[in-house]
Chain A
């Protein structure tokens, strides 16, 4: 195909997908931003410590530039708020946004509504890495081990899928991911069985938790989350084009293999960073993009950015439930997301089936 034809084809695509239906409306963007802001406030205000909302607002306002207030919080409450609660809320937003965006990206790349960020073995690889780090404490830091495990697993699945497939279908890639995940999970389970002393620590990690090591975790995830978001969002139009099928997209001038590689790579990097600090939090990556698709439209120019905003809000709120439902005890956040996510998923499935018939 000539370059001119490619440009023509690319120009033609918006009309094909539907210019109005495909664009992200300001109204939805504002709704996402407001929801996220409300979730962040709720995350800061609610928790087992019972910091009075008035004092909290005072303190918040006092920290704004150009104001001269000094907070009326005690040193202890201030430490709870700014060293424990705030980083946890920020981490929840980052992890939730990243996982939801990665889920949307995976669903786009694989044209499979059941795809989630863990499809190609990221969870199994991270789980193995984390287990090794917990069993051999002090050898490798847990976040690094989980990150390396996740990226290595997806990299391995990608190479494996390409080597056996002809590179034109995603089916071999998915199957390679399934095989990789099964193998790594088996190894991880074996390690777990042999080291009963650490069962609880490993189990806690597998269920997911928004870690309490303060701002350092936030700073750890931030660059990967930003890179991942940048790359995935930059490809949102091409992902829309690819919805029509690989062959058709290729004939429209999209370098399908390259887009797929970049988007999978970026989504995986974000996912790996997220699980490295928060463990395996399920359902965010699958529930949030589907909800957005139902409510705001199915174009990836809509689904991807909104998934990020609503995913961030969803996980922050899920964490509020995790730390207040049985306060002062803690619920694993993976349990909360699944408890909310599973029934919701059924609703999504029912609705989409009704809509398609």
Chain B
């Protein structure tokens, strides 16, 4: 980036501050379409991704997204028309331009072949890929997996800002935050419940040190994967069947219903699992793998399902006691 863009950066920062200020102020009334128009005019803008500031000179019209979460957000803020291609895992909302681009092993030439002016990638993408795209003069946004809900809302606002939909990004973040907080407030009270979040039938799980785990924390749930995470240093530890059964979780969330066709009925048939509280009380809940792993506009749907299962677990716990 040359010095040419430095004033642009300052301007964009000022614009962003002004926008976020107004967004907070009148969030209850909600900005009209005029807000988006105003944002359109505000380019160049500067956003911060995982590692650096990224300046986007003009409104991107050919966006390539290699992050399913970002794809959902881009469409939710109204940038869908500007999205040219998305990776092979991006499948929501209906009609996204799914291609065979891979987010695990991205190919710089294949991405460049779509002639993008903005590329959104997961921060986990290899550094040489990001470097390669930047050398081609493309704006690259590397979005990390969020640390928690606030981080996720922040990404929504930034994706809105980066695509000329700053106001819509702001509204989306506000709406999702509002729905999530309402559902968390409606979660049943009582002694805290233990949750096991299943990523696949090999019993990989998500500890409290993950985005999903942070949501469980907000719901006051204890995560049975935490001791394993502490021992291994991995936020996604693999547990043995014995460890899960003996931890006796009150709540089992299956995030492997699509990939691996797991169901509450199948869980009940696993050896030893019929003695687990969650199985006995019917508090095993299958949630679409994608809803249970992405940090986009469908976060409230995930929270709703978990809170429903918590109510089931709580009722039977209350009945037993």
Contact = CB atoms under 8 A, between A and B. Distances in A.
A75 B270 CA distance: 16
B319 to A, nearest CB: 18
Contact of A84 (B104, B231, B245): B245
Contacts of A87: 271
A326 B234 CA distance: 11
Interface in B193-239: 200, 202-204, 227-229, 231-232, 234, 237-239
Contacts of B202: 200-201, 204, 209
A214 B105 CA distance: 37
B261 A80 contact: no
A83 interface: yes
Interface string A310-345: 000000000000010011111000000000000000
A104 B202 CA distance: 31
A215 B271 CA distance: 8
A230 B239 CA distance: 37
**Interface on chain A toward B: helix, strand, loop, or mixed SS?**
helix
B110 interface: no
Interface stretch (A4-12, A33-41, A45-53, A233-241): A45-53
A1 interface: no
B107 interface: no
Residue in A47, A79, A137 with the greatest tally of chain B CB atoms within 10 Å: A79
Given A327-B243, A330-B238, A76 B275 contact: yes
A326 B231 contact: yes
Contact of B271 (A137, A197, A214): A214
B133 to A, nearest CB: 20
A212 B89 CA distance: 30
B228 A212 contact: no
A50 B248 CA distance: 13
A271 B257 CA distance: 32
Contacts of A196: 102, 104-105
For chain A, the bracket of interface size reads 35 or more
Given A76-B275, A212-B271, A329-B238, A49 B246 contact: yes
A351 interface: no
A92 B30 CA distance: 63
Contacts of A327: 228, 231, 240, 243
Nearest to A204: B202
A75 B275 contact: yes
Given A204-B202, A212-B241, A329 B275 contact: no
A191 B239 CA distance: 27
B304 to A, nearest CB: 26
Interface string B270-287: 111011100000000000
A180 to B, nearest CB: 28
Interface string A181-213: 000000000000100111111001000010011
A83 B272 CA distance: 5
B151 interface: no
A77 interface: yes
B189 interface: no
Contacts of B243: 48-49, 323, 327-330
B260 interface: yes
Given A196-B105, A326-B231, A328-B231, A214 B272 contact: yes
A329 B237 contact: yes
A219 B245 CA distance: 23
A158 B288 CA distance: 46
B245 A79 contact: yes
Interface string B103-126: 011000000000000000000000
Nearest to B230: A329
Contacts of B89: 197
B204 A200 contact: yes
B150 interface: no
Contact of B242 (A80, A198, A199, A215): A80
A199 to B, nearest CB: 8
Contacts of B102: 196
Contacts of A137: 259-261
A207 to B, nearest CB: 11
B246 A50 contact: yes
Given A76-B246, A197-B259, A48 B275 contact: no
B268 interface: no
B129 to A, nearest CB: 14
Given A204-B238, A327-B243, 5 more contacts: A84-B242, A212-B270, A214-B272, A215-B271, A329-B239
28 contacts: A47-B240, A48-B240, A48-B243, A49-B245, A76-B246, A80-B242, A80-B246, A80-B272, A84-B272, A85-B242, A137-B260, A138-B261, A196-B105, A201-B202, A204-B202, A212-B240, A213-B271, A214-B271, A214-B272, A323-B240, A323-B242, A327-B240, A327-B243, A328-B227, A328-B231, A328-B247, A329-B237, A329-B240
Shortest 8 CB-CB contacts between residues of A and residues of B: A214-B271, A328-B243, A49-B246, A329-B228, A212-B241, A83-B272, A83-B271, A196-B104
Interface of B: 89, 102, 104-105, 200, 202-204, 227-229, 231-232, 234, 237-243, 245-248, 259-261, 270-272, 274-276
